[in-house]
Amino acid sequence: MKKWIIILSSIIGVLVIDLVTKHFLFSVEYFNIIPNVISIASNGGNSGIAFGMFSGNTIMLIIISLVLIVALFIFNYFVKNKNVLYCLSFGFIIGGALGNLVDRVFLSSHAVRDFIFLDFWPTFPTFNFADSFLTVGAILMAIYLIFMAGKNEKT
């Protein structure tokens, strides 16, 4: 039961952080957080995925997102050794995927609202908190799978 609380809390937390920041920060014209490092500015959204791939294929991206979310829940059912690292990584991935899915489904543009710029790397794509949590969640899940999956849980 405690593990489901961690998972659900992280999913809801990521979703709230993502949607609230998109609501308040997406329309910001330009705001420099750390000079020459990171800034906030609206770029009009991304109708594709990373680096603009598959732009304009909204239905396909919605279906892929839903299939991956369902697949992750099926995978989760079979994972026996669910520690805190696993629960957080799972919650971060699902929460991030849901945050971007909300934009694709409910915005008239069907584009994901991206607004974070890395000033020191001008060619890096604009991103949002959902993207950040997805990335961190995937890295944490890889660490879990490499180093902890299959190990006996200590009581």
What residues are labeled active site? Answer: 114, 131
CB 133 within 8 A of CB 86: no
Would you give the distance in Å from CA 18 to the centre of its chain?
8
Residues in CB range of 81: below 8 A, 6 or more apart: 148, 149, 150, 151, 152, 153
Nearest Cα neighbor of 107 from 46, 63, 52 is 46
146: tokens are 């490499």
